[in-house]
Structure 1
């Protein structure tokens, strides 16, 4: 049996160089470039993350400040709303009190006007107003003229002596370009005598002087006189309904229609009654 021959290693220079290159392969610039580029990208990303984090933190802080400001504004608005509601409530109360006060004032003024009208009428109770008496017919003394003239034109007792306290025209001076004569106001000493003259004048509806119609009426407050005039303006409508009526002192109309008697204190009430009655009949 022959002995085996030992293996020999290749110790040639080319083999040794190949082995060395296999054990230690140094990095070249081309191989190092990707590693440096990767490190740089990571740093940039970290910086961007830090910047984004800082931006997020600032945004959060800004948002928190805005929320705090909004909360403060909402609180202020709530307080303002409460104040406005209180002011509106006070304004409503003030308006209600003002309306109540105005209503009370209107009622008091109306009552005072009625009282003044009543006092004026009472103070003129003995007065008569003569309308249409020609100017200067009285001469120098109006009172003496009326004492003689009234019993004569009213067919009264010639021996009847009238107690007239005083008399005068109103106004005291004639207005410029005034065509109609001024009314005469005569104040009698006793009311029964004034009433006697007034009754006699009603029984002589055609009383006139020189073709001029003469009226003898109570001397009343302006408001009362206007009310009586408005009542008298409704007489044609009362006649058309065959109603019986009469004007009472100082200014009330008594109406009897269809066996029913009513008393009206104002022309407006009488007019409404006539409108309703004529509406039913139509």
Structure 2
């Protein structure tokens, strides 16, 4: 499925995981910055609604865990005929909060597939176009879980550690080429779905943010992504770690 809105006479930004949360907020912000946004995610109806809001955008249904689906995304982007200058690897997520001794292997596999191999697939598919643009940027949305482990987070922190290793390696391998590699690592961000998808229960999801004054929201991270992506191209923001004021570290959160 592909739905277009607006003429492609500007730079193209591809955003994965664009059907909700940080991805949707990023699509809106980049459209406001003047990009033609290719919004990619699995949920067709949400993408269509999002693209309907934007002056210049294309919706492409995509599952980043599928080689074939990612190849179709790359083909759809190429068919637009514009210049691909930005990729935002945002698709990701967490499942479960089990300790290692009882962790579900299927949950660990899913987290690795989406966070790590999804980033790999989409980056590989669009890297030739980004390099050909002469001024490409790859932004990957990671997490502070990429640096610190915690009880009940083994599968997610392992996946995010692997993702940040992928990003750092890519930056080394692209040195000397016209493609910047940026990593945005948020701490506590309250969105409609992240904690709910992870824990499977609304009450448990709400408890994650209980008493926290002003957790980050999706728009805060979209602002960081847009800022990094719109610096002069010789400026590479290698890594931006962003937390709410109430969170001093992964394990240090002030609750009222």
TM-score normalised by structure 2 residue count: 0.23
For the pair shown, the structure with the greater C-alpha radius of gyration is 1
Give the structure with the higher percent strand: 2
Give the structure with the higher percent helix: 1
TM-score normalised by structure 1 residue count: 0.21
